[in-house]
Amino acid sequence: MAGETPAQVREIVKAIYSTDSRRILASLIRVLGDFDLAEESLHDAFMAAMEKWAQAGVPANPRAWLVSTGRFKAIDKMRRRGRFHASLEDAAEHLQLEAFDPAQWDDQLLEDDRLRLIFICCHPALPRDAQISLTLREVCGLTTEEIARAFLMSAPTIAKRIVRAKAKIRDAKIPYEVPERVDLSDRLDSVLQVIYLIFTEGYAASAGASLTRADLSEEAIRLGRLLVDLLPEAETLGLLALMLLQESRRATRVTPDGEIVLLEEQDRSLWNEKLINEGRGLIKSSLATRCVGPYTLQAAIAAVHAQAKESISTDWAQIVGLYDVLLRANPSPVIELNRAVAVAMRDGPATGLAIVDRILERGDLQNYYLAHSVRADLRQRLRKTPEAVASYKRALSLAWQEPARRFLERRLHELEDRATYKIKKD
């Protein structure tokens, strides 16, 4: 490509950075063997692209050009620093002599490098919290501030966690590779959990101005597809199915101005039938393995919702039954809360509320705003207005995401206005 104006080149570079910078970073980490050096070289390469492409035109394979340029920038940087540290000069020389052919770089190789990066970020030598933070930072490109908000922690704490994880990888000389098939299963649980956490943060952001972040959800689904190609086992299939089924509802989950639309109020004719059908097919393949796990069970629950053409026809008895199995496979207070909602739909709000009360009385989910929101809704349905108001206030005090806060405020004001009107009427 040639003849682009500087303004056009800037837009091309910005677009490639937006869509491919994490893939290119993954390749640079593999080539250079150093997270921080790769990050510096990535930015150097994009800066060089702004200048060089405006002069010579955009190369036929811009991604390969960026990896190659990033590598050369790193070698130059290591040589400059090598004036003070002989080991860096040796490393630069070794890197210079390594075989490197940019012509061989294609999209598949970039995808392979990204999968390698996931596995190194999820290495069992790292603590689980470090695995998650490192993956969100390096694979998905979240800032430390965004990760901190997701986990309700301070940015310096997350930054220290990431620095320690990188140092552990470097000092332990953890290989940058996808494990051999015999070792994959031992690493799979961590990888699945991290991919789903990425998807969850994109599907229902823990903080911020928007309910969803499509970039994160799409990234998680892309990673899920890569994992299924590599290892088509029951839970990799189940996780991808779950993400696709949940993603199928994205367009109906918020109004055009960003307000939350509850599941029972969503226009199901707008759900993405293609994603639903693909998800159902993956569930079928997962069930055929007879090794059903938590992700497949959650996907099956999502599929029951997708079957119902309208909310009133949802098979709540089947959903409760699936939650019963899921709780035995993966005991969790959040799953227990979700089951309580299904029980309330099947047996009435009083029965569901009793379960939610027990969860909260145990001390579980006391700081989880959705638990108090569910309790508020069930109390409201039982006409326990003062108790419902108290629960909505508690939920509001814990919610960090702006659409959720606006939703809770609306519910709270409606209840308070109704209570005031009733007092005046009486």
Residues 89-130: pLDDT tens digits? 555 555 554 545 555 555 555 567 777 888 888 888 898 889
pLDDT of residue 97: 45
Which tokens sit at 45? 């390469």
Amino acid at 42: L
> Measured in Å, how far apart are the chain's first and last C-alpha atoms?
77
130 with 11: CB under 8 angstroms?
Answer: no
pLDDT of residue 333: 93
CA distance readout (Å), 341 to 140, 142, 315, 316:
32, 32, 13, 10
Residue 387 CA, distance from chain mean position = 35
The list of the chain residues with pLDDT below 70 reads 1-3, 81-111, 149-152, 181-183, 185-186, 205-211, 419-426
pLDDT of residue 98: 56
Q: What is the pLDDT of residues 125-156, one digit of tens each?
A: 898 889 888 988 888 888 888 788 666 678 99
pLDDT of residue 372: 97
Residue 314 CA, distance from chain mean position = 28
pLDDT of residue 421: 46
Task: Output the pTM of the full model.
Answer: 0.75
pLDDT of residue 182: 67
3-state secondary structure the chain: CCCCCHHHHHHHHHHHHHHHHHHHHHHHHHHHCCHHHHHHHHHHHHHHHHHHHHHHCCCCCHHHHHHHHHHHHHHHHHHHHCCCCHHHHHHHHHHHHCCCCHHHCCHHHHHHHHHHHHHHHCCCCCCHHHHHHHHHHHCCCCCHHHHHHHCCCCHHHHHHHHHHHHHHHHHCCCCCCCCCHHHHHHHHHHHHHHHHHHHHHHHCCCCECCCCCHHHHHHHHHHHHHHHHHCCCHHHHHHHHHHHHHHCCHHHCECCCCCECCHHHCCHHHCCHHHHHHHHHHHHHHHHCCCCCHHHHHHHHHHHHHHCCCHHHCCHHHHHHHHHHHHHHCCCHHHHHHHHHHHHHHHCHHHHHHHHHHHHHCCCCCCCHHHHHHHHHHHHHCCCHHHHHHHHHHHHHHCCEHHHHHHHHHHHHHHHHHHHHHHHHC
Q: Is the dihedral of CA 262, 264, 269, 272 positive or negative?
A: positive
CA distance readout (Å), 224 to 84, 140, 158, 241, 244:
44, 13, 25, 9, 10
Q: Give the separation between CA 74 and CA 57, rounded to whole angstroms.
A: 23
Q: Give the separation between CA 236 and CA 246, rounded to whole angstroms.
A: 16
3-state secondary structure 364-384: CCCCCHHHHHHHHHHHHHCCC
pLDDT of residue 68: 87
